[in-house]
Chain A
Amino acid sequence: MMPEPPLALLAELTHRCPLQCPYCSNPVDLERAKGEMTTPQWLRAIAEAAELGCMQIHFSGGEPTVRRDLEELVAGAAAAGLYTNLITSGVLLDGARIHALRNAGLEHVQLSFQDSTAEIGDRIGGYAGGHAKKLTAAALVREAGLPLTANFVVHRQNAHHLDAMIAMAVTMGAQRVEIANVQYYGWALKNRAALMPSRAQLAAMVALVEDLRERLNGVIVIDFVTPDYYARRPKACMGGWGRRFLNISPSGDVLPCHAAQSITGMAFDNVRQRPLRDIWQSSDAFQAFRGTGWMPEPCRSCDRKEVDWGGCRCQAFAITGDAAQADPACALSEHHDLLVSTAEHEAEAATSSFVYRRYGNAH
């Protein structure tokens, strides 16, 4: 059966970034600038994604604004009919760049923050002065008339600032705020003991988000990504493998999710060598965990198998060594108790120091 077309393309234009967040979703083996696709190669990939049925494109990285051809790529995406979103740290943006991007057809900006305070934010990002630059960037985005989403990644070291983060998003004029608990693979797995929240912190966050969602209904949309180590059922990661999203790495590797390269031994096709439609519809990587046919027990007989699609393949691999296992975030997984006890143990860890995300820190 032919798979449905993807909804969105995550275009990771580069892995270069001035920030060094210890939970970065990029792979531990970061790609270098010299391996990045050229402007014409990206434009062709974007056109293929639109032709395949993608409705949205998220320009991401690394820090996508380090690419001087970003305006050209945005214009190409807009011309192909895609809804264009820029996911940025904001530290390299100035007024002229924002206007150039808007004039090229940019429709939305998602700006990341590491905390509500400069002190903690700059320490987590590993970039002095970053927080202040982000606040300036937020104001420039709003002045340019572009809609804004504020993104905060939350963990043990900043969870107590959740109230202030959401207030900050409202004040800066964001229409939407994304509160995302760290997902533990790649860099975040290296830093798990310094990041894992406690159960009490999670309960406080959930209660606060529920309360604020009610009080701020119609003012700001609050999206909350829960930390699934404490969950009973896994998240529908990526809306199911090969069902909604595709990701293109800086060098053109086409991935079912941004962390898929953490599954060692899995091979990915490259959009420079094979048509994107072909990769989406029939490549080994996309077919591997698409649908439900690959599932072992307890997923196979589960009435939620088309709700959560077995959860996260990368997490299954990180914890069990086998990407085809049920996500250990599920209470039905035989590895679930290990996951919970690991979380509870690491939440008590005394460490707060990080292995920062940078080229020299991979191994």
Chain B
Amino acid sequence: MRERMILDKTAVPRLAPHMRLRFDHARAVWAVQAPERAFLLDEAAHAILSRCDGKTAIAAVIDDLCRHFADAPPDVIEKDVLALLQDFADKGVVAA
């Protein structure tokens, strides 16, 4: 039986097998295709998920996002990244 995966900053996330991240031209949005559902991503969610390459730890993803979105407070970015990735892990979209 699978167990729930709890993500912390040392985890190295990637898109779970069979999840597909693609740009949907009909709607002009990024989307993750999952079994029986599609998640349409806003800019922040796409910025986070597109950095989950199976090589980069969450801490480094957060650092990179802080450089990229210099206007946003780092503690807010950290909180948002961990919350979003845990939610996607619970939905089976993200693995580590």
Contacts and interface: CB of A to CB of B under 8 A. Distances in A.
Interface of A: 4-5, 7, 52-53, 55-56, 81, 83, 85, 107-108, 110, 145-147, 149, 170-171, 173, 175-176, 178, 217-221
A221 B1 contact: no
Contacts of B36: 56, 85, 108, 110, 149, 176, 178
Given A83-B33, A85-B36, A147 B1 contact: no
A40 to B, nearest CB: 24
Given A55-B31, A149-B36, A217-B4, A5 B18 contact: no
A333 B76 CA distance: 46
A218 B38 contact: no
Nearest to A145: B17
Given A83-B33, A146-B18, A219 B2 contact: yes
Interface stretch (B48-56, B65-73, B88-96): B88-96
Contacts of B1: 170-171, 219
A147 B27 contact: no
Interface string B11-41: 0000001101010101100010101101000
A81 B25 CA distance: 11
Contact of B38 (A83, A175, A219, A220): A83
Contacts of A176: 35-36, 92
Given A110-B36, A149-B35, A218-B90, A55 B4 contact: no
B27 A107 contact: no
B2 A53 contact: no
B90 A217 contact: yes
B46 to A, nearest CB: 16
Interface residues of B, number: 21
B92 A175 contact: yes
A16 B70 CA distance: 59
B5 interface: yes
> At the interface, is chain B mostly helix, strand, loop or mixed?
loop
B43 interface: no
Nearest to A175: B92
A176 B3 CA distance: 14
A53 B29 CA distance: 12
Contacts of B33: 55-56, 83, 107
A107 B22 CA distance: 15
Contacts of A81: 22
Q: Which one of A52, A110, A149, A221 has the greatest number of beta carbons of chain B within 10 Å? A: A221
A85 B3 CA distance: 25
Nearest to B1: A170
A69 B20 CA distance: 25
B18 A7 contact: no
B35 A108 contact: yes
A81 B31 CA distance: 13
Given A107-B18, A173-B2, A217-B4, 15 more contacts: A4-B27, A5-B27, A55-B31, A83-B20, A107-B20, A108-B18, A108-B35, A110-B35, A147-B35, A176-B36, A218-B3, A218-B89, A219-B1, A219-B3, A219-B4
Nearest to B2: A219
Contacts of A221: 91-92
B35 A175 contact: yes
A317 to B, nearest CB: 27
Contacts of B38: 7, 55-56, 83
A146 B36 CA distance: 14
B18 A147 contact: yes
Contacts of B2: 170, 173, 218-220
B26 to A, nearest CB: 3
A50 B3 CA distance: 36
Nearest to A216: B4
